[in-house]
Each structure stands twice: as C-alpha cells, then as structure tokens.
Amino acid sequence: MSSIDQFIATNKEKWNRLYSRRTDDSVAKTESELRSVPGTEETIAPFLRDYFAKLPEGLEVLEIGCGPGINLVELAKTHRCTGLDISKVALESARQLASERGVEVRLVEGGFYQLPFEADRFDCLVASFCLQFNTWSSAQTVWSEIARVLRSGGYFVFKVRSTSRDIPLSAERIEDRGITFVSYEHHEHGMTYHHFSESEIGELMERNGLEKIDLYEHKDERADEEQGKRGWWTGLYRKA
Ligand SMILES: C[S@@+](CC[C@H](N)C(=O)[O-])C[C@H]1O[C@@H](n2cnc3c(N)ncnc32)[C@H](O)[C@@H]1O
C-alpha cells in the first residue's frame, strides 16, 4: 500500500468514527454542524454564499469533503451538484438532508487524492474546510487533482486553515515543509493537519494553472482557551 493509500485508509476510519459519534459533545463538530444550531437560519457557509453570488447559475459543481452536505444541498437549489467524501456515514446524512430539502445531489464515496471523474468535468470545485487534513506533500496531489477535473475557465472556491491559527499545545509536529502536525484535540486517534501560508497557496495555485480572483485571510484574535487564535483563508480562483 502506498503512503497516500495508507493515509487515506486511516483518515476514512477516523472520519467515519467521528460522524458516527457526532451527538457526543466531546468530539469535534464539522463547520456545518456548528452552524446548523436549531433556531438559526444559516444554512450555507457565508464565504460560499458571498462567492457564489458572483458566479453564474446552473454550474456543474463538485464539493470535495462535503461532509453531511449542508453546503451542497443549498448549492443544489441553483446548480447541478456532486458531493464527494471519504466518510460513508457523512454521505448518508447528506443523502437524508437532500431528500428532506427536496433537492437532487449526486453523492460519491472517495478520497480527494484520486478524484473518480474525468478531466475537465466541472465548472466549479468547492473545498470547505477539508484541505487542511493534509501534509504539504499530499496537498500537491490534491491540488493537481482539483485542477485536472476543472474545465478551463472553471472556478475553485475554498476555505482552509492559515498559519495565523495557533497549533494546539498537545500537537506533535511532523517532518514536512511548513506547519504540519498531528493533533489529538477532539480526535482521540490523532488527525494530520497542515496550516497554509500565503506563499504556499500561491505556489500550489500557480503550479496548477489557477489564477487568483480573490484571496482573503480572516484572523480571529479572540484567543479562546481551548483553541487559541484562529485564522483561515477563503479564496476564489479560476483555471486558466
Ligand atoms: C471539517 S469537515 C468539513 C465538512 C464540510 N465541507 C463543511 O464545510 O461543513 C472535513 C470533511 O473532509 C472529509 N475528508 C477528510 N479527508 C478527506 C479525503 N482525503 N478525501 C475526501 N474527503 C475527506 C471528512 O470526511 C469531512 O467530512
């Protein structure tokens, strides 16, 4: 088994376990679960709402790492949407949500290191808070897969952790370029993270022919005791 196959096999197991236990408050919630608090109206990540307001309707959209599909089902009201995730437990939640909301989505179980789609297939690729689950070297593979499945002129919309985010005290740094570590924060078996710098994002985009429309770093300086300072990038790019 190659190191990337090994990496994906262990991650799949961890995410399935996490989603199976998501009623337990001691485990991390996904972004969308944190947002879908009863009584709140927020159904799509604000950065997606803002970027998609600039894009035409009726796009062929792929969301990688779609989780339980909160973003995907909302996008499916105006676009043709496919969601991909390594967790079949998350995809089952997405299937139920799509049926409750009466929208059609295509759901595919798979990893983002080898996207099971032909080249130039999508008008838009969405990655909401899933690209940080990488090392610097595995990020190379994901970015080239993203560029491969996007048609020329297609959009890449993403949100990912930035280097302004604090590293948990218990994190174990691993030998890699930049900030890569294994964290046991909310993940009893450890999860691998990479925090991206602006120059790393620039390098990945340029190497894969993705041109910047917007890149913005959000910094949340309110150091909460558990997580410390938070920081993340949101970006909209276009394949040349
Ligand atoms: C923090 S959740 C984000 C879910 C959703 N995109 C959102 O914004 O709410 C990260 C998701 O990435 C998925 N994921 C992690 N590694 C993956 C991989 N190698 N291939 C595909 N999906 C992966 C996880 O299963 C999980 O659903």
Does 15 contact ligand 1 (Cβ within 6 A)?
Answer: yes
Asked if residue 189 lies in contact with residue 14, where contact means CB atoms within 8 angstroms, the answer is yes
Task: Count how many domains the chain has.
Answer: 1
Percent of the chain with pLDDT over 90: 69
Compute, in angstroms, the gap from residue 66 CA to the centroid of ligand 1.
6
* CATH code of the domain containing 124: 3.40.50.150
Nearest to 207 by CA among 146, 159, 149, 155: 146
Q: Is 66 near ligand 1, meaning CB less than 6 Å away?
A: yes
Contacts 24+ apart (CB under 8 A), 16-20: 16/87, 16/88, 16/89, 17/189, 18/87, 18/187, 19/67, 19/68, 19/87, 19/89, 19/90, 19/93, 20/89
pLDDT of residue 25 exceeding 90, the answer is: no
Q: How confident is the model at residue 22 (pLDDT cuts 50, 70, 90)?
A: low
Query: Which ligand 1 atom is the nearest neighbour of the CA of 8?
Result: 19
Residue 42: pLDDT over 70: no
Q: Element (H or E) spanning 42, and its range?
A: none
Q: Which residues contact 74 (CB under 8 A, 6 or more apart)?
A: 43, 44, 48
What burial letters (b/e) apply to 211-235, b meaning 16+ CB within 10 Å? Answer: eeeeeebeeeeeeeeeeeebbbbbb
* Gyration radius of the chain over CA positions: 17
Whole-number pLDDT of residue 33:
53
The first and second tokens of residue 190, run together, are 């450890």
Residue 133 beta carbon below 6 angstroms from any ligand 1 atom: yes
> What is the structure's pLDDT at 44?
86
How high is the pLDDT of residue 238?
Answer: 98
Instruction: State which residues form the domain around 54.
Output: 3-239
Question: What pTM was computed for the model?
Answer: 0.91
Cα-Cα end-to-end distance for the chain: 35
From the CB of 82, is ligand 1 less than 6 Å away? no
**For residue 130, how far is its CA from the centre of ligand 1 (angstroms)?**
5
Do residues 131 and 195 lie in contact, with contact meaning Cβ atoms separated by under 8 Å?
A: no
Over the stretch 184-228, which tens digit does the pLDDT of each residue have?
876 667 889 999 999 999 999 999 999 999 999 999 877 666 667
| pLDDT band at 27; cut points 50, 70, 90 | very low
Count other Cβ atoms within 10 Å, centred on residue 68: 25
Report CA(85)–ligand 1 centroid distance (Å).
6
Between 128-137, 156-165, 187-196, the lowest mean confidence (pLDDT) is in 187-196
User: For residue 22, what are its two tokens?
Assistant: 């998501």
Q: Which of 15, 62, 194 to mutate to test the pocket of ligand 1 (most atoms within 8 A of CB)?
A: 15
The pLDDT of residue 1 is: 66
pLDDT for 39 equals 44
Tell how far CA 52 is from the center of its chain: 16
Please tell me the distance between residue 129's alpha carbon and the centre of ligand 1 in angstroms.
Answer: 7
Centroid of ligand 1 to alpha carbon of 222 (angstroms): 26
Closest CA to 75 of 45, 100, 95: 45
